[in-house]
Amino acid sequence: MTRPADPATPSGWGRIAVHYDIERWMSCPPVLPAGYDVQSWARTYAEAFSRRPGFSPTPELISALAARLAEIHADAYGGGRIVCHLCLIHQPDPLTSPLPLYLSAWDSRGDRDETLRRLSHADNAAVIQPPYVAEFTARELGTGLKVRYYSRHPARPSVLYAGLNYAWRAQELATDLRVFVTTTDLRRLERALPDIDELMNVTRIVPSVS
């Protein structure tokens, strides 16, 4: 599950800003640049990321990546099971499967510690072992929670998936931030962890622009 158990109101005071490494991450924006639809955006990004120096992608690889990017965009902003305001895709090289990371900013409400535990799924009951819960301090966001857990896929009980969640409260902007990823490729998430942790260090909540 990726939808918070108790969805809140999108923050009216703060928005998400990320100074990400373009060699390792690609932006999957909710609003596409003028002149692009999802398919043309996905194709453009797939070509750009696949044709970096040192790589010689096949047309089939580029087409497969474009199809996956379009699928990620639809999942992120299609109003289904995922609730997010920004998606970034971990894609350090063309041969590595794209891993979407979702970020959402909510109006703060309730007790800070209880809210961060809820947003980070720290008390998730649908797990095969107790979640790993720890404080995580990021350069810009300060101290929040980081939670890792493993569960069985609801549609395929024989398949395990991993969940990684972070949560912070930006008190001065009355905004709660949730960052999350789920995947059935457990090794893929493990390899991405250092880059995800570093991404948290360059993530901020800044004042919304009206």
Which tens digit of pLDDT belongs to each residue from 5-16?
Answer: 344 568 878 999
- For β-strands 132-138 and 14-18, DSSP reports them as unpaired
Q: Are 149 and 125 in contact (CB under 8 A)?
A: no
Domains of the chain: 14-28+85-207 (3.40.1000.10)
Strand ranges of the sheet holding 86-90, from the earlier edge strand across to the other edge: 25-28, 86-90, 99-107, 175-183, 160-170, 142-152, 132-138
Structure tokens at 134: 């720890």
**89-104 residue pLDDT tens:** 999 988 889 999 999 9
State the pLDDT at residue 80: 77
Banded model confidence at residue 79, pLDDT cuts 50, 70, 90: confident
The residues that bridge with 150 in the sheet, in sequence order, are 162
Banded model confidence at residue 210, pLDDT cuts 50, 70, 90: low
Residue of higher predicted confidence among 121 and 54: 121
Choose among 107, 101, 67, 64: nearest CA to 84: 101
Banded model confidence at residue 81, pLDDT cuts 50, 70, 90: confident
Residue 203: what residue type? T
Mean pLDDT of the chain: 91
Residue 62: what residue type? I
Mapping DSSP to helix (H, G, I), strand (E, B) and coil, where does residue 108 land? coil
State the pLDDT at residue 3: 36
Chain-centre distance of CA 192, in angstroms?
A: 12
* pLDDT of 193 over the 70 cut: yes
State the pLDDT at residue 126: 86
* pLDDT of 4 over the 50 cut: no
State the pLDDT at residue 136: 98
